[in-house]
Amino acid sequence: MRTPLFVLIWLVIGGVLFAVSVALGNDYVFFAGYVVLQYVVLGTAWNILGGYCGYVNFGSAAFFALGAYSTVAIYKFYPLPIPLLLPISAVVSGVVGFGMGYLTLRLRGAFFAIATLALAVVLETLVVNWDYVGGSRGAYIIRPEEIEPIGNYIRYLFLIMLLLAIGAITVARLIERSRLGYGFATIRDDELAAEASGVPTLRLKLTATTISGALMGMAGAPFPYYIGYLQPSSTFGLDYAVNSIAMPLIGGTTSWVGPLIGALLLGSMQQIATVTISSAVNLLIVGCVLVAFVIVAPNGIIGLFHTYLQRKPDDFVGRRRLDADLPGSVP
């Protein structure tokens, strides 16, 4: 399927989803849907580095927070529309992602993961001590009640995140089917062999950290307007780091479809639990589902589906051969 047709199909799906949400007449659908779509973007962004390249990143919350606090810093100076804030946050987070990659991508395995976690701690410390963006006290963002012709402002935020999710999915699909994606796959499979074969592994990894960081920053840009009051614990929370990793792992990390499936499944379960039980059980749900999938489907839902497709033709051929050996049968 060509990319323009792919984008058109997803825009139609998004338009239908938005129309159905409006028809339901319950604005909580937009509040919950925004969070789920936000995790679609974060999971897809994490998968570009963690799934395609095989480098586990524990610093997702840091890039998400960079996007959110970029919005706060600009809001304090001169408020801009959210569509203008998205590219600014992408540049800020992308530059930090490039810098982080340049400093840490010579590390591998657990050492790289620890370094990304340290980045989140360092950035949180800087934000807590930066009074311009509120510091430890936090910062208020005043948003309009409505925006014409969409109506309630939360619908506007939902629509922006919906378009951003479609954009992130399209970028991931383009990467997966390009030479860049094949280069990422060689790094994931055997980086030493890729280097020996002349693959520019460092340049590819820097590209992955930059794209991943930029998408995460864009996911965080509208967040201050969504929450209204932003404090360090809101953006640097464990939820974003854990969910960004768990959702691609549950869905499958070798394809752009995996993070989408994992985010829709796990994000919806968390929103239902928030309404029916408490938001305190969200991480418990993530842990239980992740353990279950590690046991049942270690390669995620996509891996389980591929295994089923690979086994099914063998079973069919086996049955046909058995029938052909029966007396009087025609092969």
The mean pLDDT of 9-28, rounded to a whole number, is 87
The mean pLDDT of 85-108, rounded to a whole number, is 89
Paired tokens of 54: 């095989």
Q: Looking at the predicted structure, is the pLDDT value of residue 33 above 50? A: yes
The mean pLDDT of 221-236, rounded to a whole number, is 89
User: What's the pLDDT band for 286 if we cut at 50, 70, 90?
Assistant: confident
Half-sphere exposure of 92 (CA within 13 A, CB side): 23
pLDDT of residue 312: 59
> What gap in Å lies between CA 91 and CA 113, rounded to an integer?
23
The mean pLDDT of 184-189, rounded to a whole number, is 89
The mean pLDDT of 157-181, rounded to a whole number, is 92
What's this model's pTM, rounded to 2 decimal places?
0.89
Q: What is the mean pLDDT of the chain?
A: 85
Q: Report how far apart, in Å, the C-alpha atoms of 294 and of each of 27, 270, 301, 304 are.
A: 36, 19, 11, 11
Of the given ranges (7-16, 115-124, 262-271, 316-325), which has the lowest mean pLDDT?
316-325
User: What's the pLDDT band for 211 if we cut at 50, 70, 90?
Assistant: very high
Q: Looking at the predicted structure, is the pLDDT value of residue 74 above 70? A: yes
pLDDT of residue 251: 87
Q: Report how far apart, in Å, the C-alpha atoms of 43 and of each of 46, 65, 245, 267, 283 are.
A: 5, 15, 7, 11, 16
What spatial distance separates the first Cα and last Cα of the chain, rounded to whole Å?
37
Q: Which amino acid is at 310?
A: Q
Q: Looking at the predicted structure, is the pLDDT value of residue 330 above 60? A: no
Of the given ranges (75-89, 200-214, 248-262, 288-302), which has the lowest mean pLDDT?
288-302
Q: Looking at the predicted structure, is the pLDDT value of residue 250 above 50? A: yes
Q: Which amino acid is at 34?
A: Y
The mean pLDDT of 272-282, rounded to a whole number, is 80
pLDDT of residue 95: 94
The mean pLDDT of 57-70, rounded to a whole number, is 90
Paired tokens of 210: 């930059």
> What gap in Å lies between CA 137 and CA 248, rounded to an integer?
33
Task: Give strand pairing partners of 229.
Answer: 140
Pairing mode, if any, of strands 146-147 and 229-230? Answer: unpaired
The mean pLDDT of 318-323, rounded to a whole number, is 44
Closest CA to 118 of 241, 247, 253, 286: 241
User: What's the pLDDT band for 327 if we cut at 50, 70, 90?
Assistant: very low
User: What's the pLDDT band for 88 if we cut at 50, 70, 90?
Assistant: very high
Q: Write the pLDDT tens digit of every residue in 112-168.
A: 888 888 888 899 999 999 888 888 888 888 888 778 777 788 899 999 999 999 999
Q: What percent of the chain has a predicted confidence (pLDDT) above 70?
A: 93
Give start and end residues of each alpha helix (H) in 105-152: 110-128
> What gap in Å lies between CA 127 and CA 69, rounded to an integer?
8
> What gap in Å lies between CA 139 and CA 133, rounded to an integer?
6
User: What's the pLDDT band for 329 if we cut at 50, 70, 90?
Assistant: very low
139 three-state secondary structure = strand
> What gap in Å lies between CA 143 and CA 137, rounded to an integer?
19
> What gap in Å lies between CA 44 and CA 259, rounded to an integer?
5
The mean pLDDT of 191-199, rounded to a whole number, is 86
User: What's the pLDDT band for 328 if we cut at 50, 70, 90?
Assistant: very low
pLDDT of residue 21: 84
